[in-house]
A and B are shown apart, each in its own frame.
Chain A
Amino acid sequence: MIFNIEVNNKTIKAQKGDTILMALKNNGIKVPTLCHMEDFKATGSCRMCVVEVEGKPNLIPACSYPVEEWMRIWTHSPKVIHARKTIVELLLSNHPDDCLYCERNGNCELQKLAIELNVRERRFPGKKNKYKTDPSSASIVRDPAKCILCGRCARICEKTIGVSAIDFIGKGSKSIIGPAFNKGLNISSCINCGQCILVCPTGALYEKAHFAEIQDALHNPDLHVVIQYSPTVPITLAEEFGIKPGKDINGILNAVLRKIGFEKVFDTAFAVDLMVMEESDELIDRLQHDGKLPMFTSCCPGWIKYIEQFRPDFIENLSTCKSPQQMMGAVINSYYSQTNNIPSEKIYSVSVMPCTAKKFEAQREQMTHKGITDVDAVLTTRELARLIRLNGIDINQCEPGTPDLPFRNRSSAGKIAGVSGGIMESMIRTLNYKLSGKELLNYKIQEIRNVKGRKEITIKMGGTEIGDGCD
């Protein structure tokens, strides 16, 4: 049911059942928010989105109040602006004053609000809570002093990820968000997926930096520093440099990495091919010898930790293959090391991954061989962008290059590992060949080339019908 409401003295259309915020958004009217998350039920914590509604003595939170017919709303009346400004000032009164040194300088929602609301003085000089940073996790650093308690991280960890590693602890102005008993994140049930970092509006959560080690290694003449990058990285990197998001700058990336000082640049997509070869063999072995089915892929370290912690009954279903990052790390330290006569202790192996969980994976005990880690340090795409900037490289001025041998060539199946459903498609192509001896005619499997939450397909391959699903 559509009806009229009045906003800022203009009549607009609103739908019954929508919140005021939705109705405003559908009409292009913006109202600042802080704790709001798309697709999540509003909690009404931050009170930033308050608006003035005729007839109501208090200000109304637009995110959670349903829109009613004949409402007369003012989104930027003096009362509302003063309230929003006071709320931001209250937040700032309990926030460290170190924007210039902060991870999120220039990219912080609190900073943006302070600018938008023209905050110019410290109106509430008072005590600030003192908290210690928690750098225990291999992937994620917590800084509770910068937390504004919007609760986004807790909500996404509980509802989307289903882990609930962090939640509210304590009461009142002593509340913080942390893992159970406020112990280190490394001993909590956190699977290192990094989604909390994605939704955190301030610098309270950020990825563990491995910047410094890599810089040291690059300037160490004794070490042979090599780098591998996931197929997703060249596609997501472009956005950081003002290039159209989604443009593949693979060639340029190879050149850029050499300019920074990496002695060899390898493409992880090569290792994806390796992994598909190994894993398809494993699946066929299980199919033919009554092995544990269904078989789950094992590239994602967050997924692995999740299974280990919450569903250990499925551990045997996991594929025993390593992830492409680790396979590449392993072949660098063995094949590459031997054929190029560089002892593996002298090789410093770096990888660039679009994911924080890979930092955790690289330092796992199991990912070593005779005491030498397969991958020494992991950079996220964001960290790579910083490294590029720090070295003063203008990527628009670089000529594209190719990765180095022996890990240069890859199939298209290797590349599509970077997208949803990609590994599955790669597996299907290889399985089909192995089982029927023939290549798939339509090797671009459109049914799984989408971003649906769950995809399922059954294919006849060489006399066997195999069902595949991926979430």
Chain B
Amino acid sequence: MNGRGGGGFPTGKKWKIAHSTASDQKFLICNADESDPGAFMDRAIIEGDTYRLLEGIAIAAYAIGASRAYVYIRAEYTQALEKLKHAVGQAKTYGLLGENIYNSGFNLSIIIKQGAGAFVCGEETALINSIEGKRGMPRTKPPFPAIEGLFGHPTVINNVETLANIPAIFDYGPHWFNSIGTQKSKGTKVFALTGKIRNTGLVEIPMGTKLRDIIFTMGGGVKNFKKFKAVQIGGPSGTCITEENLDIEIDYESLKTVGAIMGSGGMVIMDEDTCMVDIAKFFMNFLQKESCGKCIPCREGTRRMHEILEHITKRPTNEGGHETLERFKGIMQLESLAEVIKTTSLCGLGQTSPNPLLSTLNLFREEYEEHIFDRKCRANVCRELRTFYIDVEKCTGCTLCLKKCPAEAIIGTPRNPHFIIEDRCTGCGICFDICKFVAVTVK
């Protein structure tokens, strides 16, 4: 079984490494930090089937010889936290946790550690630092946690979904598990369908299911009958998949062939009203804020990438001609900068930070060029690039938009058609929203 947290590392192999590393103390950590925007797979498992998770933790701890297990859960999951605390308490009461469990000679205590809001603490070595009471900054690997982890001891860190799969494997056997899925990727995966899709929620699908089936059959297709544009898989570390690759069968290997990663299971569906530049900007902003600041390429690099993206979605004012060149130069630099950030960052956050940007740039280059050269956003999302104009046929001269315009960009006299001065218009859209006669449209 591959780890379900995003890395896809074979779980059994990790356990074996920890098991065979000699130490008087070993640890098992359950990574319930789940901070990808829009992901809630682990939360559903913790809230809905807490004991299954605890059973998985216990089996894993027993397998590697750990007597202490930690559940690192993000503090924002208050309900899940309550359920977890309650479940651990119950397990203790019934003697399923503690010393010499059911006279087996095996001791296990589960400690719940709350996160403090950092996305980077989902990275295993940063998580370890966080449990140790230090700043949540990743460490260099090697040494790998399975050999030298928490407090210097062999530590296995597994995702919630990975651990939740374990009891079923033990109940029904490895043959059953291997009968589900594809040649290389076995079992099921939970995906969180979000975005412009009719049925949002969680789906658990066997590996090998077609992406098209997930989106259009299970998800019910794109909301409001809009046209499908792309699906972003893998959260802030992920990439986009477009129409042409929708028939791909979801598994670890095949996703790689289209330049995508499984990630932890987030799937964001986008339609024609989504601006791909804005998406890249959103994820870059997120990664920039969540960067821990330890290594230079991520700390400074994501900041500059974000700045370049802001630059091309900025209000065009008094442009002397060389600004376009500057913007274009920025985009050219992005690719080379992204390459350096990818290959030199310390941890996964930095290494995968250019992915959303590079993926959208690759698949939707025309949109980027429209933003840079034509100063247009075809999806009308980038506020500052929107220009509105008033249809003289429909305008009744009610002066409502004139009064409400915050930039005083509308001129006109009562009962005469009004006019929007493009240079003053900030693209806020207030006039568009309040016109009762649908006279204001986007250029």
- A interface list, Cβ under 8 A from B: 42-47, 50, 57-59, 61, 64-66, 79, 82-83, 86-87, 90-91, 93-94, 123-124, 126-127, 148-149, 151, 168, 170-175
Q: Would you call B301 and A59 a contact (CB within 8 A)?
A: no
Q: Would you call A172 and B343 a contact (CB within 8 A)?
A: no
In the complex, how many angstroms separate the beta carbon of B140 from the nearest chain A beta carbon? 4
In the complex, how many angstroms separate the beta carbon of A184 from the nearest chain B beta carbon? 22
Given known A-B contacts A44-B295, A46-B295, A65-B140, A91 and B342 have beta carbons under 8 A apart:
no
Q: Would you call B340 and A65 a contact (CB within 8 A)?
A: no
Chain B, residue nearest A46 (CB): B296
Whether, in the assembled complex, B259 has its beta carbon less than 8 Å from a beta carbon of chain A, the answer is no
CB contact list, B321-344 vs A, under 8 A: 333, 336-337, 340, 342-344
In the complex, how many angstroms separate the beta carbon of A73 from the nearest chain B beta carbon? 15
In the complex, how many angstroms separate the beta carbon of B303 from the nearest chain A beta carbon? 5
The residues of B that contact A90 with a CB separation of less than 8 Å are: 296-297, 300-301, 304
Q: Would you call B340 and A61 a contact (CB within 8 A)?
A: no
In the complex, how many angstroms separate the beta carbon of A374 from the nearest chain B beta carbon? 42
In the bound complex, what is the Cα–Cα distance between A86 and B339 (angstroms)?
Answer: 10
Q: Would you call B337 and A173 a contact (CB within 8 A)?
A: no
In the complex, how many angstroms separate the beta carbon of B32 from the nearest chain A beta carbon? 21
In the bound complex, what is the Cα–Cα distance between A65 and B344 (angstroms)?
Answer: 13
Chain A residues touching B, majority SS: loop
Chain B, residue nearest A47 (CB): B344
Given known A-B contacts A43-B140, A64-B140, A65-B142, A126 and B303 have beta carbons under 8 A apart:
yes
Point out the residue from B290, B291, B294, B303 that lies within 8 Å of A43, measured CB to CB: B294
A-B contact pairs, 15 of them (CB 8 A): A43-B294, A45-B346, A47-B344, A57-B343, A58-B343, A79-B343, A86-B297, A86-B337, A90-B304, A91-B300, A93-B300, A149-B293, A171-B118, A171-B292, A172-B292
In the bound complex, what is the Cα–Cα distance between A44 and B350 (angstroms)?
Answer: 13
In the complex, how many angstroms separate the beta carbon of A342 from the nearest chain B beta carbon? 56
In the bound complex, what is the Cα–Cα distance between A50 and B301 (angstroms)?
Answer: 16
The residues of B that contact A42 with a CB separation of less than 8 Å are: 140
In the bound complex, what is the Cα–Cα distance between A448 and B137 (angstroms)?
Answer: 42
Chain B, residue nearest A58 (CB): B343
The residues of A that contact B299 with a CB separation of less than 8 Å are: 149, 172-173, 175
The CB with the most chain A CB atoms within 10 A, among B139, B291, B292, B295, is that of B295
The residues of A that contact B351 with a CB separation of less than 8 Å are: 58
The residues of B that contact A93 with a CB separation of less than 8 Å are: 300, 304
Q: Would you call B340 and A87 a contact (CB within 8 A)?
A: yes
Number of interface residues of B (CB under 8 A): 33
Q: Would you call B293 and A170 a contact (CB within 8 A)?
A: yes
In the bound complex, what is the Cα–Cα distance between A61 and B343 (angstroms)?
Answer: 10
The residues of B that contact A59 with a CB separation of less than 8 Å are: 343-344
In the complex, how many angstroms separate the beta carbon of B295 from the nearest chain A beta carbon? 5
**1/0 per residue B171-214: CB within 8 Å of A?**
00000000000000000000000000000000000000000000
In the bound complex, what is the Cα–Cα distance between A148 and B294 (angstroms)?
Answer: 10
Whether, in the assembled complex, B158 has its beta carbon less than 8 Å from a beta carbon of chain A, the answer is no
Query: What 11 additional pairs, Cβ within 8 angstroms, besides A126-B304, A171-B289?
Result: A44-B140, A44-B295, A83-B344, A87-B297, A91-B296, A149-B299, A168-B135, A168-B137, A172-B288, A173-B288, A173-B299
The residues of A that contact B274 with a CB separation of less than 8 Å are: none
The residues of B that contact A173 with a CB separation of less than 8 Å are: 288, 291, 293, 299-300, 302-303
The residues of A that contact B290 with a CB separation of less than 8 Å are: 171-172
Q: Would you call A61 and B297 a contact (CB within 8 A)?
A: no
Chain B residues touching A, majority SS: helix
Q: Would you call A127 and B340 a contact (CB within 8 A)?
A: no
In the bound complex, what is the Cα–Cα distance between A171 and B346 (angstroms)?
Answer: 16
In the complex, how many angstroms separate the beta carbon of A171 from the nearest chain B beta carbon? 6
In the complex, how many angstroms separate the beta carbon of B322 from the nearest chain A beta carbon? 13
In the bound complex, what is the Cα–Cα distance between A45 and B291 (angstroms)?
Answer: 13
The residues of B that contact A61 with a CB separation of less than 8 Å are: 140, 346
The residues of B that contact A168 with a CB separation of less than 8 Å are: 135, 137, 293
CB contact list, B242-295 vs A, under 8 A: 288-295
In the complex, how many angstroms separate the beta carbon of A355 from the nearest chain B beta carbon? 31
In the bound complex, what is the Cα–Cα distance between A59 and B342 (angstroms)?
Answer: 9
The CB with the most chain B CB atoms within 10 A, among A86, A126, A149, is that of A86
The residues of B that contact A83 with a CB separation of less than 8 Å are: 340, 343-344
Q: Would you call B340 and A44 a contact (CB within 8 A)?
A: no
Q: Would you call B307 and A47 a contact (CB within 8 A)?
A: no
In the complex, how many angstroms separate the beta carbon of B189 from the nearest chain A beta carbon? 25
The residues of A that contact B295 with a CB separation of less than 8 Å are: 44-47
Point out the residue from A124, A170, A174, A175 that lies within 8 Å of B304, measured CB to CB: A124
Q: Would you call A87 and B307 a contact (CB within 8 A)?
A: no
In the bound complex, what is the Cα–Cα distance between A16 and B343 (angstroms)?
Answer: 26
Q: Would you call B296 and A87 a contact (CB within 8 A)?
A: yes
Whether, in the assembled complex, B239 has its beta carbon less than 8 Å from a beta carbon of chain A, the answer is no
Q: Would you call B293 and A175 a contact (CB within 8 A)?
A: yes
Whether, in the assembled complex, B237 has its beta carbon less than 8 Å from a beta carbon of chain A, the answer is no
The residues of B that contact A124 with a CB separation of less than 8 Å are: 304, 307, 333, 337
Whether, in the assembled complex, B345 has its beta carbon less than 8 Å from a beta carbon of chain A, the answer is yes
**1/0 per residue B136-156: CB within 8 Å of A?**
010110100000000000000
In the complex, how many angstroms separate the beta carbon of A160 from the nearest chain B beta carbon? 18
Point out the residue from A45, A82, A126 that lies within 8 Å of B294, measured CB to CB: A45
In the complex, how many angstroms separate the beta carbon of A47 from the nearest chain B beta carbon? 5
Q: Would you call A172 and B346 a contact (CB within 8 A)?
A: no
